[in-house]
Structure 1
Amino acid sequence: MEFVDILLKRIEGENELKRPVNALICFSKVKTGKALGALMNKMVRFRPDKSSVTFLNLIDAEQAKHIQDENTYKSELFSDIIQLSEANKLSVRTFVKQSENYVEDILRTADEYNCNLVLLGIGSSVFNSSLWHKYLKLREENNLPEAALQQLDEKAASSLNNVSTLLARNKLSTGIFVENNYLDANQLFVPILYKEDAYSFPYFYQMAKNTDVTVTVWDAIGLMESDQKFQKLFQFIAKKTDGRVKLWDNNKKIELNFIQQQDLMIIGFNGWEKLIGSPLSWTHCLPSVLIIKDNKQTLI
């Protein structure tokens, strides 16, 4: 089955969209975890009652030293998230774990709780377009990730290594959420730079079911013009969301002021790497970003 047919099945028939989501949300920083929790709730608000979210706050030894009482810490961290999730009829689990190997603990937790989606939240100060582009160039020049990592500072190297390893080893659909002063997701920007970037469609479609959300899709490769199935899929989404999803006019240049008005960018992983390597003037000023690596079986 062609992947456009998979998307048509997911969205037009909405068969898979009626199945529960069992998401694992992983993060280190409190601010990032709360932002990702709010985003996830907005994304699955219209999903069935049996959907669940498992929050995993991974901390290092230094962070653990500052936690005097774990129950108090968990209450302060998760109270708002739990209240929001329960209001949306989501089952919630919360964990705080001191970890020496983030990737192993994420994979183990996802397996233990039978998750079908993994979302990793990370701050823009330690994972951003400039850092990842530098990492890719170093890796390409040195052939080995280890050699590239040696030329970055320790914190950045560790974060990039964790992201790269998780993407390589995780068999589930994965989202990397790069938090950059996230407040809400009312204005969404979705670039399509590769055909496979269309796997972002189910994600922004779920978001656009919220009446306060507007989505602008930048079809940079003319996918909707060249493929009738994709055109049909997009028209279906636009109709179902009362026109809140619209195409960017490719006769117009995307300016920095437009990017600065966006709350969130959703993009496929290959498209992300292509975008940050492009000469576009606004790639260093991106809002919060959700980078999708789909395993072709995602339930979002």
Structure 2
Amino acid sequence: MPESSRFRTAFIEKIEDVSTLLLLPLFFVYTGLRTQIGLLNDPQLWMITAVIILVAVIGKFAGSTLAARFVGQSWKDSLSIGALMNTRGLMELIVLNIGYDLGVLSAELFSMMVVMALITTFMTGPSLDLINYLYRLKKPSIQQEIQNKSKFKILLSFAKSNTGISLLHLADALTLKSKNTAEITALHIEPSNELHHYEVETQEQDSFREIKEVAANLEQPIQTIFKISSDIDSEIVQTSNEQRQDLLLLGVSESIYEGSLLGRFLDFTSRIINPEKLFHTVTNAESPFTAFDRNQQINAKVNAMVGILIDKNFVKARRVIVPILLKNDEFLTAIIQRLIHHSDAQVMVWDFDQILRKQESFRERLRQLEQLVPNHLTILEEKNLDADLWAQQDLMLISLPCWHKIVNKKMDWLHHTPSTLLLADRKK
């Protein structure tokens, strides 16, 4: 750096130090000496001062709070921003002094405005302490917090009622015997461009009417969330992550065929290999082979395990088949155990590629589970299963990469499959 530039920089820094350490305190002293509180010797003048303070607080505190809330901040953060913005400091006093020198402000009004600036500035610390205290009181007790963390949380995201009902039956199968330690939430998001504001309440009631009736028949407690959004995918991601869900269940109509949710959640896009074949009809027509290709990473991701239900009128999980093709399928053991424990399911683990022989830890986990429930878990190593055995199954449980593999191979038994739950382990 040239000598002249260094000198200029050092000179500016010195000027700033003099301004901060000498001139700024003198300015505050000067303003204080000009403030004549004794002029406010009438109750009416103090009432006007109170009105000025009230208007100032409403203008900055309330205005900043509502603006912050409008752009998506929480109430706690919005109130904190309002409290900080409500502070009047140097700029306020400079404007007041200029107005006083120009004769725009009388001595009485100048004193009122200075009092307002001081009071709103002094309010900041106590206001922030009060906000923090109030929101600290709203936190659940330690016991309640531990209880909430121990709950197995399932989020059902559906577009149509019949999809939501099938997802509810699946969630019930996973939590049947421990409803007090489980939490099931049904989420329905309506596209913002398809709904008028006067239709919101009616649409919300219609969206959850059938699923609530089924939940009542199952004696399954259920919470509901209704949202309106132009970006449904991101809204589901945000809801799942904010509520720290353990399992996110999606219906096939939104995830596989439209290629949106699956690609956004699991870094896959979808394509239908045989587009001329429609997906499972109510007459159990042949389903198309559907494959998933790797897609680019996205910013918003689901922290929970994600399940996509390909529904063929799923109601109960009495018989479940689990094809194993990859060593990473070991995470399916947790869901197998849940289905056996809560639904007394008869589970067949189909190791037709002899993966369990190579994966010792996976084999050991299944062996321990088999010893605990010998009548509920069977391990098969046959290369092919007959159609009658497939027809007896209520659900096929399979990992998403495994599904990808068998679809690419175009296995001839795919059209025999029952309702299928594709699972991707995305837990951190």
Verify same fold: TM over 0.5. Answer: yes
Cα distance in 2 for partners of 1:223, 1:61 equals: 47
User: Which structure 2 residues correspond to residues 21-60 of structure 1 after superposition, within 5 A?
Assistant: 21-47=152-178, 49-60=180-191
In the TM superposition, what is the alpha-carbon distance from 1:56 to its structure 2 partner?
0.6
Say whether 1:102 aligns with 2:235: no
Cα distance in 2 for partners of 1:166, 1:254 equals: 39
**More contact order relative to length (CA 8 Å, sep ≥ 6):** 1
**CA deviation profile, 1:128-170 (whole Å, cap 9, x unmatched):** 7xx98xx99xxxxxxx969x79xx89xx9xxx99x97899832
Hey, what does 1:224 align to over in structure 2? 356
Hey, what does 1:271 align to over in structure 2? 402
SS at match of 2:256: coil
Hey, what does 1:114 align to over in structure 2? 244
Say whether 1:127 aligns with 2:127: no
In the TM superposition, what is the alpha-carbon distance from 1:77 to its structure 2 partner?
2.3
Deviates more, 1:202-211 or 1:63-72: 63-72
Q: 1:76 aligns with which of 180, 184, 209?
A: 209
In the TM superposition, what is the alpha-carbon distance from 1:263 to its structure 2 partner?
1.1
Q: What residue identity is the alignment partner of 2:332?
A: S
**CA deviation profile, 1:13-67 (whole Å, cap 9, x unmatched):** xxxxx93212211011111110111111110224472421111123447975898
In the TM superposition, what is the alpha-carbon distance from 1:296 to its structure 2 partner?
4.7
Cα distance in 2 for partners of 1:145, 1:249 equals: 32
> TM-score, length-normalised on structure 2?
0.51
Hey, what does 1:172 align to over in structure 2? 304
**CA deviation profile, 1:61-110 (whole Å, cap 9, x unmatched):** 7975898823541452232344267x35x5x3212334432211101211
Hey, what does 1:182 align to over in structure 2? 314
The structure richer in helix per residue is 2
Structure 1 pair 34/69, CA: closer, same or farther in 2 (3 Å)?
same
Hey, what does 2:86 align to over in structure 1? none
Structure 1 pair 122/97, CA: closer, same or farther in 2 (3 Å)?
farther
Q: Which blocks of at least 5 consecutive residues in structure 2 are unaligned? A: 1-148, 280-290
Is the Cα contact below 8 Å between 1:266 and 1:291 reproduced in 2? yes
Q: Which blocks of at least 5 consecutive residues in structure 1 are unaligned? A: 1-17, 137-143
Say whether 1:261 aligns with 2:392: yes
The structure richer in strand per residue is 1
Is the Cα contact below 8 Å between 1:20 and 1:47 reproduced in 2? no
Structure 1 pair 64/290, CA: closer, same or farther in 2 (3 Å)?
farther
Structure 1 pair 84/63, CA: closer, same or farther in 2 (3 Å)?
farther
> TM-score, length-normalised on structure 1?
0.71
Q: How many residues of Structure 1 are paired with residues of Structure 2 in the alignment?
A: 258
Structure 1 pair 257/64, CA: closer, same or farther in 2 (3 Å)?
farther
Hey, what does 2:48 align to over in structure 1? none
In percent, how many aligned pairs have the same letter?
21
